[in-house]
Amino acid sequence: MDPTGLGADVHFRMLVEGVKDYAIFMLDTEGRVTTWNAGAQQIKGYSAQEVIGMHFSRFYPAEAIERKWPQTELAEARRVGRFEDEGWRVRKDGSMFWANVIITAIRGPDGELRGFSKITRDLTERKRHEESLRQSEERFRLLVEGVRDYVILMLDPEGRVATWNAGAERIHRYAAQEVIGTHFSRFYPAEAIERGWPERALTTARREGRFEDEGWRLRKGGSKFWASVLITAIHGPGGELRGFSKITRDLTERKRLEEVESNARQMEEFVAMLAHELRNPLAPIANAASVLKLEGKDNAQVVWAAGLMERQIDQLVRLVDDLLDVSRITRGKIALESKRVDLADVVARAAEASQTWIDAREQALEVQLPVEPLAVVQGDMARLTQVVNNLLHNAAKFTPPRGSIRVTLEADDAQATLRIRDTGVGISPELLPKVFDLFTQGDRSLDRTEGGLGIGLTIVRRLVELHGGTVQALSEGAGRGSEFIVRLPRSERPVAPLAASAPAAQAGRKLRILVVDDNRDSAESMALLLKRMGNEVHAVFDGPSALDLATRLPPDVVLLDIGMPGMTGYDVARALRRIPDLANLSLFAMTGYGQESDRRRTQEAGFDVHLVKPIRADVLKRHLASIADRLGPG
């Protein structure tokens, strides 16, 4: 059925002649240009007489020709039927433009290769000048019918479908006889039809010559796809409207990836805010626990209660940190600080950090390390320590009280191998293949005493993989314990042994410290803790008060909350740095945000130290001791 009465061949000629935004031409089997449309002339700057018979590699930069990229494109199109690429191309005058290119192999009825269709779009800027295509009707037909990645069709002046190509059939899933003669609005969702979007598209194209849009379109059966659409008005020699060309491309996958990226970004922002909001109330609780520990050191029950509070706070902080890490890892936001690291030092640090937790469960921890620094790898000390910490925490969590955990480290010429074996509940055969998957947990019964989010082992696997290693879980079944094996490529040369770190010393002098936090509980509990450490401490609850007190009683140290209303911690820090009498002031940022971007921002604002709430008393004491030593006797 042909409602326009023009004939299919004329339709194809009109279709191709009306396309202005694409270079559409044909190549012979060797890559020589055999047809040349006005879009090609407009984009590339050559006339048909200048390029027909020439090899299409003349449109490529010298470096692409040197690596034989044009030949690679044709070979790939010949092998699989099509080739798609984006890259720099060259115009006649030598200027460059960024092109999207589709090359499709054209075959005859008997399957022999007849040549290639090539569609190029200039993505540098959109041209609006209309050109006519001057090619034979049969070649135009082959060109359009061979294109499968674009819906290329003609509409009559009222918007009824006049032609239908293979790309239209593949993307919309209608056969030509099902749609020719019907209105193109059938490809639009109901809500778009209700607001008159198809009519608006034709009206705009009729008035301005073209209409471009992205939006949801329908396939046969009602399923949706995200489409990029270009509608161009086609005029006859006398200027009368003859119809419209319509080119549609399925961009569903791109749309899906954009939505995934947007959702992931929103989730990361949400998790960061959640972490901040959780850390703020934890800070005064942690401070109070540290004060209890100092005040009640002669009372066993008080010491027990303070220790319990500290352990549970540490567990909450671990969960928050795991949430942040898994969000960053899944988005590829983790950057490793790669250095030569002895895994024995990593294991020793992790074991020391986990000892309190393991002791509280009355478990035995056995660590067997090589005498010499043999297990040297290239990696990030902090992240590798996190790997071992998570594995030890996992072992302790799923091992009953008075159970045992054994850590061994060994190395051969190629790799270092860390094994962590426990006598815990074990892993069922069904769970074992999925134990490193995100949010995977074992026993979910109501009487399960140890919770978790099921993300710790996911973080372990991703961090190990980022170091070029592998991690494996082994278990003989429920009740038979578990073993986790981490293998990392060994570095060729050993590292110098690390100097033993001295325990944090008490301050050599009393420091004058100013605590600034709009959360009164947080400020007052921190001030009380610092006083119990032997310092002179003042607490205020807003930026202007901090500046006023700092000018009257110049402090040695200011612990400054970032997220204060009105005058933020950044504002206060910059103002303090401008006061000449405070040239030796040490500025500590106190914040619930601990990502690298947050640390960079505090450093740029003039802070010396970035402390993430809740702040551990031993960490605080170590920083203050360093300042006291630097200042000397008071």
Between CA 499 and CA 496 the distance in angstroms is: 9
- Tokens standing for residue 194: 């209700």
Is residue 153 a contact partner of residue 174, using CB atoms and an 8 Å limit? no
Backbone angle region of 475, left / alpha / beta, with phi > 0 → left and psi within -120 to 50 → alpha: beta
The predicted pLDDT at position 202 comes to 94
Map residue 73 onto helix, strand or coil: helix
User: For residues 472 and 337, what is the distance between their CA atoms, to the nearest angstrom?
Assistant: 24
Distance CA 278, CA 299 (A): 30
- For the chain, the helix, strand and coil percentages under 3-state DSSP, each to the nearest 5: 40, 25, 35
The label of the residue with tokens 């909001």 reads 277
- Grouping H, G, I as helix, E, B as strand and the rest as coil, residue 200 is helix
> Strand pairing partners for 25?
118
What are 59's two structure tokens? Answer: 């449109």
From CA 54, how far away is CA 57, in angstroms rounded? 9
Quote the pLDDT of residue 569: 92
pLDDT score, position 511:
93
Kindly state the DSSP code that residue 616 receives in the 8-state scheme: P
Q: What is the pLDDT of residue 386?
A: 86
Q: Which residues of the chain have pLDDT under 70?
A: 1-20, 125-147, 263-264, 267-276, 315, 323, 326-333, 438-454, 492-508, 633-634
Could you give the 3-state DSSP secondary structure of residue 366?
strand
Please state, in angstroms and rounded to a whole number, the distance separating the CA atoms of residues 74 and 147: 15
Q: How many CB atoms lie within 10 A of CB 215?
A: 14
Place of tokens 């919309």: 172
Q: What is the pLDDT of residue 272?
A: 67
User: Closest by alpha carbon to 354, among 400, 304, 410, 315?
Assistant: 315
Question: What value does the CA radius of gyration of the chain take, rounded to a whole number of Å?
Answer: 35
- Distance, in Å, from the CA atom of 630 to the CA atom of 613, rounded to the nearest integer, reads 25
CB contact at 8 A, 487 and 408? no
Beta strands in 223-381 (DSSP E): 224-235, 241-250, 339-342, 364-368, 376-379
* CA-to-CA separations, 125 to 25, 157, 627, in angstroms, rounded: 20, 28, 59
Task: Look at the block and give the residue holding tokens 């569903």.
Answer: 252
- Work out whether the CA dihedral 444, 448, 453, 458 comes out positive or negative: negative
pLDDT of the residue at 262: 72
Q: For the segment 541-593, what is each residue's pLDDT rounded down to a tens digit?
A: 999 999 999 999 999 999 999 988 889 999 999 999 999 889 889 999 998 87
> 87: which DSSP letter?
E
Handedness of CA 410, 412, 418, 419 (dihedral sign): negative
**What does the DSSP assignment read for 399-465?**
S-TT-EEEEEEEE-SSEEEEEEEE-SS---TTTGGGTTSTT--S---TT------S-HHHHHHHHHH
3-state secondary structure of 566: coil
Per-residue pLDDT reduced to its tens digit, 221-267: 899 999 999 999 999 888 899 999 888 988 888 888 777 777 667 76
Using DSSP, state whether 247 is helix, strand or coil: strand
Packing angle between helix 569-577 and helix 596-604, nearest 10 degrees? 30
If one counts every other C-beta atom within 10 angstroms of the C-beta of residue 510, the result is: 14
Cβ–Cβ under 8 Å, residues 286 and 614: yes
By three-state DSSP, how is residue 553 classified? coil
Largest CA distance in the chain: 103
Measured in degrees and rounded to the nearest 5, phi and psi for residue 103 equal -115, 125
Residue 144 is encoded by which pair of tokens? 């359009």
Residue with the two structure tokens 């450093």: 603
Report how far residue 185's alpha carbon sits from residue 548's, in angstroms, rounded to the nearest whole number: 70
Q: What is the pLDDT of residue 370?
A: 84
pLDDT at 327 (0 to 100): 65
Residue whose token pair is 């899906």: 256
> Partners of 611 in the beta sheet?
590
User: CB–CB of 614/288 below 8 Å?
Assistant: no
Q: Which H/E stretch holds residue 349?
A: helix 343-360
Instruction: Spell out a b/e string for 26-60, using b for 16 or more CB atoms within 10 Å of the CB, else e.
Output: bbbeebbbbbbbbbbbbbbebebeebeeebbbebb
Q: Report the 10 Å Cβ neighbour count for 144.
A: 25
Q: Give the model's pLDDT for residue 547.
A: 94
Give the whole-angstrom CA distance, residue 325 versus residue 595.
Answer: 9
The string of DSSP codes covering 20-57 is -SEEEEEE-TTSBB----HHHHHHH---HHHHTTSBGG
List, in order, residues 6 or more apart from 98 with CB less than 8 Å away. 86, 87, 88, 89, 122, 123, 124
